[in-house]
Structure 1
Amino acid sequence: MREEKGFSQQALADTADIAKLTILRIENGKNAPTLDMLFAICDALEISFQELMNFDSNRE
C-alpha cells in the first residue's frame, strides 16, 4: 500500500514518525509493528485500519 500511495520508505517513516529502518524491517517481516505503529502508518497513508489489514490480493 505504501507504494500504491506513492510513498518512499523514508517519506512514510517521516510522516508516521517511525524510523526508516523500522519500516524496512516491518515490510521484510523482520519486525512486528506495535498497534501504535500500525495506526500511525494508517494515518500517514490516509487509510483505515481495516484497509491496512485487507490481505485480499484483489485489492482495488
Structure 2
Amino acid sequence: MPKESFACKDIGMSCGFKAEAQSEEELMKKIAEHAKKAHNMSSIDAATMSKVKAAIKRA
C-alpha cells in the first residue's frame, strides 16, 4: 500500500493529477514527470518544490 501521495489541486492547481508511491523519492519522480508533460515545467522552482513537499500526504 502506498505511503506517500500528492495531488496538484492541493497546491492550488486546477489539475486532476494525483500520484501515490512507496517513498518520497519515487513520488517526486512521478511529480516531476507530470510537471514536465502537463504543465510544461522543465524544472520545478524552489517555491513550488516547497509547496509540493508540504502537500505530500503520508499514510
* TM superposition score normalised by structure 2: 0.41
Structure having the larger proportion of residues in strand: 2
Tell which has more relative contact order, 1 or 2 (C-alpha 8 A, sep 6+).
2
* TM superposition score normalised by structure 1: 0.41
